[in-house]
């Protein structure tokens, strides 16, 4: 019992320290039709990843301002 308790508590502290580290996120918008490309960089805390999900949903509807085609979105995460 005692061993189990120790293991659990150390795992918890590891996870909580990870929560404070920001995640680098790079969003690359590109147009498959005309080659238009734009990059965004942002930082999110692990607990704020919900904000990123919302932002991505907005990006999904972006159209190219050159040709009007739907923009392709690639996300790169740097943990």
- Sites of contact with Zn ion (CB under 5 A): 31, 33-34, 36, 64, 66-67, 69
Q: C-beta of 30: minimal distance to Zn ion in Å?
A: 9
Residue with tokens 């690639």: 74
Beta-ladder partners of 63: 70
CB-nearer residue toward Zn ion: 30 or 52: 30
Task: Identify which of 25, 22, 37, 26 has the alpha carbon closest to the alpha carbon of residue 69.
Answer: 37
CB-nearer residue toward Zn ion: 29 or 33: 33
CB-nearer residue toward Zn ion: 25 or 64: 64
Task: Identify which of 39, 40, 29 has the alpha carbon closest to the alpha carbon of residue 64.
Answer: 29
């Amino acid at each position: 019992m005692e061993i189990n308790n120790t293991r659990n508590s150390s795992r918890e502290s590891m996870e909580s320290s990870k929560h404070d580290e920001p995640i680098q996120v790079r969003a690359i918008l590109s147009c498959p039709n005309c080659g238009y490309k734009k990059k965004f960089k942002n930082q999110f805390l692990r607990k704020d990843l919900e904000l990123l999900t919302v932002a991505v949903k907005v990006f999904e509807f972006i159209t190219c301002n050159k040709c009007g085609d739907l923009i392709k979105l690639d996300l790169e995460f740097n943990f």
